Amino acid sequence: MDAVVARPGIAERLSRMIQLPTVSAELDERGMKPFDDFVALIAEFYPLTHSQLRLELHTDFGLLFHWEGVSDAAPLVLMAHYDVVPVDESDPWTHPPFAGVIADGRVYGRGTLDDKGPLIVVLEAVENLLAAGFVPARDVYLSFGGNEETFGAAAVEISRAFQERGIVPWLVLDEGGAVVDAPLSFVHGRAAMIGVGEKGVLTLTLSTRGDGGHASAPPTLTAVRRIARAVNRLGPGTFRTRTPRAIPRMLSQFSEQTTGPSRLLLKLLAAVPLLTGRVFAALGGEPAAMVRTTIAATMQSGGTAANVIPSQASATINLRIALGESVDSVVSRVRRRVRDPLVSIEVVEGSEPSPEAPTDNAQFSLLGRALEEAFPGVRPVPYVMMAATDSRHFHRFTPAVYRFAPLEMSNAQRAAIHGVDESVEIATLERGEIFHRALLENLT
C-alpha cells in the first residue's frame, strides 16, 4: 500500500459545502436544490469514495456508502448529517452565514461545526486511504442524513435497513462531544468528551379552553392564565436528579489530571453519586442537564386581539429525558405536577433515552488510539450527551454507540452552534482527518 498523504484544500472544500444552504426546516422555501447540489458536490470532491464505495439512497435525504472490508466481521458505522438549522437574518454575523468565508485560519459559516465539519473529515480520511490502496479490516458504512435537524427520518430508514438485513454494527460513531478545554468549571486541561449515552427527547403540547369575551370583564381564570399556571408548575425541580454511571467515571478521570482541593472534590463526587446529582443540579446549566430530565417551555399561543379574552390557549414544552427514565414516566410526572384536568397534555414527538455504552471494551480503546494519533496527550472521557443525534436510531439494537466529533471546540465555538458566528479552525479539520484515518487503519 502506498503511503497515505492528505490532500490539500480541505478548507476550500468545506467552504463550498457551507455555501449550500441545506436548511431542512426551510425545505418549503428553499426546495431540494441545495440538498441535491450537496450530493453532487460529494461526487465531485470525493471521486474515489463515489466510485469505489456502493451508495444507497434512503428517502430523499439519506446517503449510505458501503466500503467492503477484508473480513465479514461486524461493521463500523460513521455517521454525520449535512442539513443545518436556520439563521435569524437579524443576527450580527461577522461573515455571511452561507458565504463559507475563509479567514484567520478558520472557515466561517452555518454548519462548520454542526455538522458539515465533522462530516468532511470522515470523507477526507476515506478518500485519502482509498488513494493509497487501503482496504479496511472490516466493512465500513458512511451514514449521512439530510434531515437530522428535523427529527431524522433518513436515519430512521437507514437504521431500519440494518435491522432488516440482520446487521448489528460493531461500533457506531456520530456527532456529539469534542476536544474541549476546561470541560467543567473546576477542571483544567483538555479532554476528548465522548458521549456514551444520550438523553431522550420529548415534545408536549399543553392546551385548554375557557370562556372568551371582552377583556373589560375577565373571568377569574382565563385559558391563558390556566396555561401560564401549568407552565409555572413545571419548574427546574420537576424531576429528581439521577447520576448515570458515566458521570462518576468522568469525574474519576478528571481527578487524575487535577491537583489540590479540586482533586479531592472530584474523588468525593465520583464516589458518592447521590451527592454528585445534588451538586450538579445546584451548578445549573450543562452540569444540571447531565443529571436530570430538563423541561423548557418553548412556544405559547392564544388570543387574536389585544382587547379579546381568548377561548383557548396552548404551550409547547420540550423535555430532554434523563437516562433511567422513559417517555411514559416523564409524561406521568408532568400530569401530576400540572394537577389540572382541564389542561390536556398531548405527546407531539418522543424518543427514549439510550442505554450507556461501555468504556472497558475494544471499541472505546480504538477511539483512544485514534485520539492519541490526532490529539497527542488528550484522553477520552465519557459523558452523557444532552442533545439528540441520528445515532439514537441505532442504540436500540447496537451495544456500542458513541458520540464524538474529532474537532477542537472552545466554549465560544460550542455556544455558536445553532447561534451566531459558527466557525472551525482549519488546523483542527486536518487533525480530525487524522483521527478518522487512524480509526480506520487500526480496525481489526
Q: What digits encode the pLDDT tens for the residues 406-434?
A: 999 998 999 999 999 999 999 999 999 99
In the prediction, which pLDDT does 182 show? 78
CB 343 within 8 A of CB 227: yes
Cell of 378: 488528550
Residue 285 pLDDT? 87
Helix or strand (DSSP H, E) at 172: strand 171-181
Pairing assessment for the beta strands 380-385 and 190-198 based on DSSP bridges: parallel
What confidence category does residue 2 fall into, taking pLDDT thresholds of 50, 70 and 90? confident
Encode pLDDT of 113-127 as tens digits: 999 999 999 999 999
pLDDT at residue 186, as a whole number: 67
Nearest to 323 by CA among 297, 294, 298: 294
Q: How many residues does the chain have?
A: 444
What pLDDT, on the 0 to 100 scale, is given for residue 152?
74
Q: What's the angle, vertex CA 94, arms to CA 91 and CA 98, rounded to 5?
A: 75
Check pLDDT > 80 for residue 436.
yes
Query: Cell numbers 487524575 correspond to what residue?
Result: 256
Task: Round to whole Å and give the CA distance between 127 and 21.
Answer: 24
Average pLDDT over residues 58-74: 97
The sign of the dihedral angle between the CA atoms of 206, 211, 213, 215 is: negative
Phi, psi of 64 (to 5 degrees): -125, 105
What is d(CA 209, CA 162) in angstroms, rounded to the nearest whole number? 45
Sequence spans of domains, the chain: 10-198+354-441, 200-351
Cα-based distances in Å from 78 to 88, 120, 377: 31, 12, 24
> Cis (ω within 30 of 0) for the bond into 115?
yes
Cα separation, 166 vs 142, whole angstroms: 18
Crossing angle of helices 261-271 and 273-283, in 10° steps, is 120
Using an 8 Å Cβ cutoff, are 139 and 75 in contact?
Answer: yes
- Domain 10-198+354-441 grouped into CATH 3.30.70.20: no
pLDDT (0 to 100) of residue 218: 87
Res 144 pLDDT > 70: yes
The answer to whether residues 382 and 402 touch, using CB atoms and an 8 Å cutoff, is no
- Confidence at 185, pLDDT banded by 50, 70, 90: low
The residue type found at 358 is P
pLDDT value at 140 more than 70 = yes
pLDDT at 51: 97
* pLDDT tens profile 187-244: 778 999 999 999 999 999 999 999 888 888 888 899 999 999 999 999 999 999 999 9
Residue 278: the pLDDT is 93
pLDDT of 75 > 70? The answer is yes
Q: What is the pLDDT of residues 241-257, one digit of tens each?
A: 999 999 999 999 888 87
Look up cell 483544567; give the residue. Answer: 188
Work out the mean pLDDT of the chain and round it to a whole number: 95
* CATH architecture assignment, domain 200-351: 2-Layer Sandwich (3.30)
Residue 54 CA from chain centroid, whole number: 27
Q: Which residue has the higher pLDDT, 164 or 284?
A: 164
Q: In the predicted model, is pLDDT for residue 273 greater than 80?
A: yes
Which residue type is seen at 418? H
